[in-house]
Amino acid sequence: MLRIWAPDGIREIRPGDDLVALIADAVGDALADGDILVVTSKIVSKAEGRILAAADREDAITAETVRVVASRTSPSGRTTRIVENRLGIVSAAAGVDASNTPEGTVLLLPEDPDASARALATGLRALLGVEVGVIVSDTLGRAWREGQTDTAIGAGGVRVFEDLRGRTDAEGRPLTVTMPCVADELAAAADLVKGKASRRPVAVVRGRADLVGDLDLPGARSIVRPGEADMFHQGADEAYAAGLAAGRAEHA
């Protein structure tokens, strides 16, 4: 049985705060071996001082952008950019967040979410004496579907995939490509109890102890599909324009 809950008692996070101690105080003695904590990236970023004074959020997005995947301007004049950031994550606005931050500032994603997750898992294991895993989550949109879900951008001591390849389904047929991204599934499930405005930035998942393991397990960076394997490397309009330009150059 899977059980997920979000403890109360975690105050507003400030730069330099000890997240291990604050999370440990909030969960008390409720943690057990095999539990997985899903921690919102926003509090990790705040504790790590990833707050940037920025009069213009667009400038901050540009600074965090490695590659523009698509850009659209609405009839109202608002431009939305889907970009690849320095972590390899493709998202709107490069993960730059201007909500729940002091006026005139924006919040950047953790510099290395996998390292942040491993540090939290290491600290909680040492302080509480239980073998737990940690997922750092962030809210992302999805191609082809409306709405957003929380997704794993960092992982420490957690298997991010459940590799079912080589097994058989209920009818005895071999599974050849089935590899659920359980880290993303857990991040999305945890958001159901954390919420966006409830001041519960941490959730505890119990019932998947099989996913908890060594701290040097591959992190969430391994979820990001490399460019050479990405069939949707550009937005539709951008891909069309690039193909048209290439065709014209070839026949010039």
Pairing between β-strand 65-73 and β-strand 79-85 as defined by DSSP bridges = antiparallel
pLDDT at 172: 67
CATH of region 3-48+110-250 = 3.30.1330.100
pLDDT digits (tens, 9 = 90+) for 35-65: 999 999 999 999 999 998 877 788 889 999 9
What's the rounded Cα separation, in Å, for the pair 86 and 67? 9
Cα end-to-end span (Å), the chain: 64
What are the backbone dihedrals phi and psi of residue 119, each rounded to the nearest 5 degrees, phi first?
A: -65, -40
Read off the tokens for 31.
């943690």
Q: What is the 3-state secondary structure (H, E, C) of the chain?
A: CCEEECCCCCCCCCCCCCHHHHHHHHHCCCCCCCCEEEEEHHHHHHHCCCEEECCCHHHHHHHHEEEEEEEEECCCCCEEEEEEECCCCEEEHHHCECCCCCCCEEECCCCCHHHHHHHHHHHHHHHHCCCCEEEEEEEEEECCEEEEEEEEEEEECECCCCCCCCCECCCCCECCCCCCCHHHHHHHHHHHHHCCCCCCCEEEEECCHHHECCCCCCCHHHHCCCHHHCCCCCCHHHHHHHHHHHHHHHCC
Q: Could you read off the pLDDT tens digit of each residue along the chain, which spans 252 residues?
A: 899 999 998 999 999 999 999 999 999 899 999 999 999 999 999 999 999 887 778 888 999 999 999 999 888 888 889 999 999 999 999 999 887 777 788 999 999 999 999 999 999 999 999 999 999 999 999 888 999 999 999 999 999 998 766 566 666 666 565 678 999 999 999 999 997 667 899 999 999 999 999 999 999 999 999 888 888 888 888 887 888 887 888 777
What's the rounded Cα separation, in Å, for the pair 208 and 133? 10
Domain borders along the chain are: 3-48+110-250, 51-108
Of 102, 91, 99, 41, give the one whose Cα is nearest residue 64: 91
pLDDT digits (tens, 9 = 90+) for 106-120: 999 999 999 999 999
What's the rounded Cα separation, in Å, for the pair 68 and 82? 6
Strand partners, 38: 135, 203
pLDDT at 98: 82
CATH of region 51-108 = 3.90.1660.10
